[in-house]
Chain A
């Protein structure tokens, strides 16, 4: 089966600019997650979708981060405006209960 697809692979922006990441989960996976992985740390959950509904966004900084999964398949994560501390790898994962399958992530550098 095809894995979780993410794009772009890398993105460099200046602080206060906006950026968007895209994720296409494994076909048939109802649950989709966005994780933030800061260098040297484990993945931290930002938001979890079940189909096109939000299950958990308690750790999403909603003043600057937003995410959607309009048709219950693809998802986008947006940051506006970006801060230096947003520099990280943004991982998308999908699954039906367990286990989770991860994409290769988007590495964001904010300068």
Chain B
């Protein structure tokens, strides 16, 4: 089955700096790659996603890039704010079969 690895496990940045989280996946058939943000006591919430026919997608301060050949994808957050502090999960899916990375705890220091 699909295996998703995520790095780093923790990331601390200064407010206003950029943050980058990277994931790799094992199954070349995976075709959908969402990113979720999870705040304390809540379920994961989708923040951005990308499909395998697209190389990059941007939504305001958040962008995701996908390299299908290398089987890795990344989340980029620019101009970070304290409210961006949370745990971020990447995932890879084939159809309805979705597997998650272990998560990155992002801390944005004011």
The chain A residue sitting closest to B46, CB to CB, is: A99
**B29: CB under 8 A from chain A?**
no
Mask for B22-57, Cβ within 8 A of A = 1, else 0? 000000000010101000011111100100000000
- Interface size counted on chain A using CB atoms at 8 A: 25
Interface of B is mostly: strand
Binding site for A on B (CB under 8 A): 4, 6, 32, 34, 36, 41-46, 49, 89, 93, 95-103
Q: Is the CB of A42 within 8 A of B102?
A: yes
CB distance from B14 to the nearest CB of A (A): 24
* Most A Cβ at <10 Å: residue of B32, B41, B44: B44
Enumerate A3-21 residues with CB–CB distance to B below 8 Å: 4
The chain B residue sitting closest to A92, CB to CB, is: B43
> Which residues does chain B contribute within 8 Å of A93, judged by CB atoms?
43
Binding site for B on A (CB under 8 A): 4, 31, 33, 40-45, 48, 50, 55-56, 91, 93, 95, 97-105
> Which residues does chain A contribute within 8 Å of B102, judged by CB atoms?
40-42
New A-B contacts (4) at CB < 8 Å, excluding given A99-B46, A99-B49, A100-B98: A42-B89, A98-B98, A100-B34, A105-B42
